[in-house]
Structure 1
């Protein structure tokens, strides 16, 4: 355990002006506050905040951060209060301790809600001061180092999984690669010990076989650089971590022996000019591996990382990865944002607001309704490889791999995303679901009349885009549910002989546990409560009206599909195939809407049309909006189709297909192989690059059509596939 004077000496070694009295008081206060508390390992609890402080001194962080580390568990785990911390140590440290304390307190809640809310609080706290995150990462690092002392294996795996999904990506995003690597390796040891042990054994074998080889490569690279005028370059070989090797094995689907970049050689030179000079020397001396060169100096990563990366067939015909950077770049690479907060006399310090990704997390936080949803979107934002694209003005936008022009539009600005109607990629108009590649220039075309489309959610990959689209759709859906709920209740009141008034609904809000009248109307419109339930809550002593006795409730719990019907007609003679829909009167004329082409498996509703019988629509069909004012025409229906049902239904899809020979042949082959039969095909738009089609396919149900669409999406010539609505 670090002694008091040792901790002070560590800090004063890199910051001679550090407040020694403040550090001493924090050390004593924390030790007394934790008293006789112990950890799962049996060690005194005070050893934990002390080790966290020690980790941060290795990063040369300022005294306020070190003091925060010493005190970070006192408010949560001892009798000390937040007021005590502020009174004894000042407002700045009080605010930092409060930021970390709010996170720790939530770790006592249920697992999923705790993790989500915990992370939401972390984002809010670190947006005010990034040092909160630095303390939290050091706290998590020491907890992971001692995780093996926890006896419950499920708890160990839960903590390790959370570390791998949240804290390691966060460390990477702020450039703390050493911390990220250790967190990943410690979590990997808990989650897949066998795989890690196997990789370590392979690495040990390689080390024993090639120890001299690594030194020979370093010596030869040094000689090559000196011969061409680059003096004083520092060269070292770095072994990839077991977890990063494991990820590459999974991504590339190759064996351990086939990996070429298990060892990376790092060259540190004096200035940026020498970086490019060294790169030219190596490229002129050794064959370059195609596709492996990356210039992160002219185009830095969002976390500030700068370096030149290249792959060559190097000394002794070894395929190696080479990283070239200056000493300052190396410091930022190893310490990330901590390098900015490290004690440096007279230099300004960086704050959280400089990080675009953090601003985007705050934007997601604003649009997500539940902590769990925020966590889902944030994992999308954090845990992906990146592509770098440019606006027409040359501004760099970093996106996850697989991102589309819609993701790009939302990254530029939320309003640009909301009103996006098209995109030019490198000067060519391409579909919005096109995946962007490194170096693409993207020009977003907008229209004030455009709003987010439900289909976008199926192909966007950034958390910001998905959160914004979901919020818009949720708001739009809520307004529709409110109008539908109002129509249902108006009809119910009218049938029972009463005038509808929303004032009466205020008295029953507590019964249905709704905060307001609009919330109750939305609950009725969404089917959570029926109009009959609400009516009887308003008039508990009411006896059914004579007219209402003729009302048939066709399906429990969904009043929007109750309809006034006449006495049933006698069952027709003869042997007819039973209708595949429940809730209809025998003999009633039925046909399927051509605007939405409902299939078994879709949620459906019936609309009564005079002289035509009942038209079956999907519940999300846009045509239904025109019937909002006629709720008496709605009938609650459901599919009555078993797994062996022989009847086929028409599913309509919309495709964007590459305009090249064989495209239509590939398309029809895929549909046929998956059990579909094309009954109609129409080309709706064509240009030099792609054309759009509407195709009708005989399928068994919605799942069958979904399988066909999935197979089509996997076909290279097909750019986009969607269910056709309103076509």
Structure 2
């Protein structure tokens, strides 16, 4: 085994000092002793794995701390070595890198998914402090993927699926394209071995047929550049198996259609030469309109830069050409690792800056995510490879995932802009906030000081930042609303016992909080408002029967019910089964996690709730002023004739009601039934609308659904 570390140390002398190489050797010896007696599935000593990971990092010219962490990355998790011992032996920097890669094995999780999510969250957060954590982890995962064949088929597919879902997109996000491609090829063979084998055979067969065309095109491109005095490397681009498979599935293309496209990479000395070369390519063969992309002027999110164009070559074959400088080529292959590989600021600033911006966004996600599963879902959303490029009114370029909306754009500009967004102009025209944006559009966000995020935004936003910020706001809003509602419910229950909440002794409340295991009175009120605690029971526990001083008159007053104003927010909802309106007699049912669900008094569902769980039923009444509109459903039996829908819509609009939804069901050739959803203020408003619709010619009957 010493021959392995000797060979690595010989390679390391090319770019590290003797002291640094000696420190890496010492880390290897420590790892070898710590893993003594442990073996890999294939029978090799376990230390061969950290040594292989260190070799992968050596290929990237990573610093000596990263290589030491690679040697030691499993000692905390798999041996008896503690973090304190590791820190005393190798210092805090190396220990922090090792800890960032280490799984949480001492914590109990309710499910495997939760454990994986929490481990991923821990690694991502460590990465936001030091990006080398993820580089070490990517190298660790790469060696595990290279040795998948010793695992069972089920575990092999699980590890490969996780790699394709998480680690390959992360490698792509950091611009580490070589690692990403190897992940995808190995994962493809592990998950779909027969498909991978068939495509591989087809590629080998096609390569022979294509060789002559590839050589002739390569010669033509090279000669054209040479005549213009441009020194360039021209390389034919090989298509990767997984890429071919994805295009066949997603674009519904046959294998022959994909292989009919010839790809070339032209590598020159500078940015200026890239644009000169592009002109020469367009002069050599005709460009196909709409197929040119300038990733030099507008780099991809991961820092990738190149000029892409598609040409119509000899006999009409499509030719994809990428033009880039040597620096850009290194960046395209190694991404953020190019910082260590080339040590030149000339072309790593873009990748480094964008990586830091991504780390910052991950920290924001961590603050706003409720749990690990929500966090990992947000990170997955953030790893979408397809992008659109948008402009602010001042000309600043914003990069967002494809399908992003003006709300996503608003949150990308600033969290405060997103929170107070009320409308958007796209290319100087008012546009819906749910409109998917397209590359090249100029987006202006209109804000209002008192505006707040709308829960319905969660139905269409796609960026993790927007989703996390909206959820965070709604959680805070729900806490405030549930606390307020909880106080009103408890005060109502206490009033029936002749006691005011403010008159309760501090000791009474403290004793109950201790019994319930709650930290504060606010927590208790939140639980009551959310329906997790029954206010009548809490009131009785605070005021035992012997302390009840309420008179029959007080108790009758308490039964009048809580006044519903319509502005209670997320903790009060209106039952869909009966669609209550102001003016209806109402009751409420406490639903765990939702607060109060309001039903009409005669609703069958409410009657069953009262029978099954009377403690959770709350007497309610409408306040004198209710400041909102409510959805109700009308059933209209009518004779089908041209213009009928327009007449009904006109009458509803003239009555100051707005239409929410319409469904029409045919009943024979001349008759039909319309289900009409209307937004109205109260029962009187609804009655006025019904009266106007009922007198229309062709309307047989109008009834309120579930009346």
Give the structure-1-normalised TM-score.
0.76
Cα drift, residue 419 of structure 1: 1.2
Q: 1:602 aligns to what?
A: 576
Superposed, 1:74-153 pairs within 5 Å as 74-101=75-102, 110-151=111-152, 153=153
Contact 2:498 2:549 in 1 (8 A): yes
Cα drift, residue 489 of structure 1: 1.5
Cα drift, residue 459 of structure 1: 1.1
Structure 1 runs not aligned, ≥5 long: 553-561, 566-591, 642-648, 653-667, 686-691, 701-721
Q: 2:668 aligns to what?
A: none
Cα drift, residue 466 of structure 1: 0.5
In structure 2, distance between residues paired with 1:511 and 1:329: 65
CA deviation digits over 1:390-422, x for unaligned, max 9? Answer: 222322211000001111111111111111122
Contact 2:587 2:599 in 1 (8 A): no
In structure 1, distance between residues paired with 2:439 and 2:169: 21
Q: 2:528 aligns to what?
A: 524
Contact 1:481 1:523 in 2 (8 A): yes
- Secondary structure in structure 1 of the residue aligned to 2:453: coil
Q: 2:692 aligns to what?
A: none
In structure 2, distance between residues paired with 1:522 and 1:208: 71
Superposed, 1:608-687 pairs within 5 Å as 612-614=583-585, 639=605, 679-680=648-649
In structure 1, distance between residues paired with 2:290 and 2:192: 31
Contact 2:495 2:555 in 1 (8 A): no
Return 174-183 or 507-516, whichever deviates more: 507-516
Q: 1:241 aligns to what?
A: 240
CA deviation digits over 1:240-276, x for unaligned, max 9? Answer: 3222223222332332233367653111111111111
Contact 1:551 1:564 in 2 (8 A): no
In structure 2, distance between residues paired with 1:127 and 1:599: 40
| 195 and 109 in structure 1: CA distance in 2 versus 1, 3 angstrom threshold | farther
In structure 2, distance between residues paired with 1:24 and 1:651: 76
Q: 1:341 aligns to what?
A: 340
Q: 1:219 aligns to what?
A: 219
Q: Does 1:479 align with 2:480?
A: yes
Q: 2:287 aligns to what?
A: 288
| 696 and 330 in structure 1: CA distance in 2 versus 1, 3 angstrom threshold | closer
Contact 2:424 2:431 in 1 (8 A): yes
Return 251-260 or 123-132, whichever deviates more: 251-260
In structure 1, distance between residues paired with 2:63 and 2:452: 48
- Secondary structure in structure 1 of the residue aligned to 2:301: coil
Q: Does 1:210 align with 2:210?
A: yes
In structure 2, distance between residues paired with 1:682 and 1:10: 84
Contact 1:404 1:460 in 2 (8 A): yes
Cα drift, residue 446 of structure 1: 1.7
Q: 2:58 aligns to what?
A: 57
In structure 1, distance between residues paired with 2:338 and 2:345: 14
In structure 1, distance between residues paired with 2:542 and 2:589: 32
| 81 and 226 in structure 1: CA distance in 2 versus 1, 3 angstrom threshold | same
Cα drift, residue 115 of structure 1: 2.2
CA deviation digits over 1:169-201, x for unaligned, max 9? Answer: 111111000111111222233333343333323
Q: Does 1:40 align with 2:41?
A: yes
Q: 1:179 aligns to what?
A: 179
Return 363-372 or 97-106, whichever deviates more: 97-106
Q: 1:585 aligns to what?
A: none
| 226 and 35 in structure 1: CA distance in 2 versus 1, 3 angstrom threshold | same
Contact 1:682 1:694 in 2 (8 A): no
Cα drift, residue 639 of structure 1: 4.8
CA deviation digits over 1:123-145, x for unaligned, max 9? Answer: 22111111111001111111122
Q: 1:71 aligns to what?
A: 72
- Secondary structure in structure 1 of the residue aligned to 2:470: helix
Give the structure-2-normalised TM-score.
0.78
Q: 2:299 aligns to what?
A: 300
Contact 1:119 1:375 in 2 (8 A): yes
Contact 1:275 1:324 in 2 (8 A): yes
Return 127-136 or 159-168, whichever deviates more: 159-168
Contact 1:508 1:538 in 2 (8 A): yes
Q: 2:331 aligns to what?
A: 332
Cα drift, residue 233 of structure 1: 1.2
- Secondary structure in structure 1 of the residue aligned to 2:585: strand
In structure 1, distance between residues paired with 2:680 and 2:332: 50
| 387 and 468 in structure 1: CA distance in 2 versus 1, 3 angstrom threshold | same
| 41 and 105 in structure 1: CA distance in 2 versus 1, 3 angstrom threshold | farther
Q: 1:24 aligns to what?
A: 25
Contact 1:457 1:469 in 2 (8 A): yes
| 224 and 355 in structure 1: CA distance in 2 versus 1, 3 angstrom threshold | same
| 56 and 111 in structure 1: CA distance in 2 versus 1, 3 angstrom threshold | same
Q: 2:422 aligns to what?
A: 421
- Secondary structure in structure 2 of the residue aligned to 1:697: strand
Q: 1:712 aligns to what?
A: none
- Secondary structure in structure 1 of the residue aligned to 2:102: helix
Cα drift, residue 102 of structure 1: 5.3
In structure 2, distance between residues paired with 1:71 and 1:197: 37
Contact 2:658 2:678 in 1 (8 A): no
Contact 1:189 1:196 in 2 (8 A): yes
Cα drift, residue 678 of structure 1: 9.5
CA deviation digits over 1:357-379, x for unaligned, max 9? Answer: 22112111111121111111111
In structure 1, distance between residues paired with 2:414 and 2:186: 38
Contact 1:422 1:444 in 2 (8 A): yes
| 549 and 202 in structure 1: CA distance in 2 versus 1, 3 angstrom threshold | farther
| 488 and 515 in structure 1: CA distance in 2 versus 1, 3 angstrom threshold | same
Superposed, 1:163-562 pairs within 5 Å as 163-230=163-230, 232-259=231-258, 263-342=262-341, 344=343, 355-501=356-502, 503=506, 504-538=508-542
In structure 2, distance between residues paired with 1:428 and 1:312: 36
- Secondary structure in structure 2 of the residue aligned to 1:303: coil
Contact 2:658 2:680 in 1 (8 A): no
Contact 1:400 1:462 in 2 (8 A): yes
- Secondary structure in structure 2 of the residue aligned to 1:509: helix
CA deviation digits over 1:27-74, x for unaligned, max 9? Answer: 111111111101222221111111110111111112221111111111
Cα drift, residue 605 of structure 1: 7.8
Contact 1:302 1:356 in 2 (8 A): no
In structure 2, distance between residues paired with 1:455 and 1:24: 58
In structure 1, distance between residues paired with 2:377 and 2:650: 39
Task: Tell me how many residue pairs correspond in the alignment.
Answer: 625
More helix as a share of residues: 2
CA deviation digits over 1:503-537, x for unaligned, max 9? Answer: 43432335444332222222221222222332344
In structure 1, distance between residues paired with 2:260 and 2:30: 49
Structure 2 runs not aligned, ≥5 long: 608-630, 635-640, 666-676, 683-707
- Secondary structure in structure 2 of the residue aligned to 1:355: helix
Cα drift, residue 619 of structure 1: 11
In structure 1, distance between residues paired with 2:647 and 2:158: 49
Cα drift, residue 89 of structure 1: 2.2
Contact 2:391 2:442 in 1 (8 A): yes
Q: 1:657 aligns to what?
A: none
| 294 and 413 in structure 1: CA distance in 2 versus 1, 3 angstrom threshold | same
Contact 1:260 1:320 in 2 (8 A): no
In structure 2, distance between residues paired with 1:58 and 1:725: 69
Contact 1:116 1:371 in 2 (8 A): yes
Q: 2:160 aligns to what?
A: 160
| 278 and 453 in structure 1: CA distance in 2 versus 1, 3 angstrom threshold | same
| 392 and 181 in structure 1: CA distance in 2 versus 1, 3 angstrom threshold | same
In structure 1, distance between residues paired with 2:662 and 2:551: 44
| 650 and 535 in structure 1: CA distance in 2 versus 1, 3 angstrom threshold | closer
Contact 2:303 2:354 in 1 (8 A): no
Contact 2:236 2:265 in 1 (8 A): yes
Cα drift, residue 636 of structure 1: 10
